[in-house]
Amino acid sequence: MKGRAGCQGALRIGAALIVFWPLVGSAQPANSWLERLDTNGDGAVDLGEVRHARGVVFDRLDTDHDGFLSRDELAAARKPRRNATAQPGSRLLVRADADKDGRISRDEFLALAGQTMKRRDRNGDGRITADELPPPRPRQPSRP
């Protein structure tokens, strides 16, 4: 009798895990960043993976495919998302445009990957692991 009850309990916990697992995952934006970039699945993000991810973003932003991000392309990229926390295109242009020609080449854009690594790789081992990412932002408390 007892054994059977225990078995049912385990089944119930298993079912609950299956139901709630997706919610647990979506509550951790920092970890999903890591999972998205960690293309070789070793649990850490290295410079190559950051560069690869930036390359994908570059291709998406470079709508006329001339190999450069113009001011217009950067402006267009941030229009659809009104609440985007991404930095404004003009600031990105100032930061990334190393040769000051008013547009961001693919190399200039990928060079930012090094800055991302430097900023996030706190123990300097060349890999960004989950414990080096900022903790997930707490949800906005609901106003009374």
Q: Work out how close the CB of 66 gets to Ca ion at its nearest, in angstroms, rounded to a whole number.
A: 4
For Ca ion, the closer of residues 59 and 64 by Cβ is 64
For Ca ion, the closer of residues 59 and 99 by Cβ is 99
Residues 44-63, interacting with Ca ion (CB under 5 A): 62
Q: Where are the alpha helices (DSSP H) in 2-82?
A: 2-26, 29-37, 47-61, 71-78
- State residue 2 phi and psi, 5-degree precision: -65, -40
- Which of 60, 10, 22 has the alpha carbon at shortest distance from 2? 10
Per-residue burial over 12-50, b = 16 or more CB atoms within 10 Å of its CB, e = otherwise: eeeeeeeeeeeeeeeeeeeeebbeebbeeeeebbbbebb
Q: Does 38 bind Ca ion (CB under 5 A)?
A: yes
Q: Work out how close the CB of 25 gets to Ca ion at its nearest, in angstroms, rounded to a whole number.
A: 18
Q: Work out how close the CB of 33 gets to Ca ion at its nearest, in angstroms, rounded to a whole number.
A: 12
Binding string to Ca ion for residues 110 to 139, with x set by CB under 5 A, is what? Answer: ------------------------------
Q: Work out how close the CB of 68 gets to Ca ion at its nearest, in angstroms, rounded to a whole number.
A: 5
d(CA 48, CA 57): 14
Binding site for Ca ion (CB under 5 A): 38, 40, 42, 62, 64, 66, 68, 97, 99, 101, 108
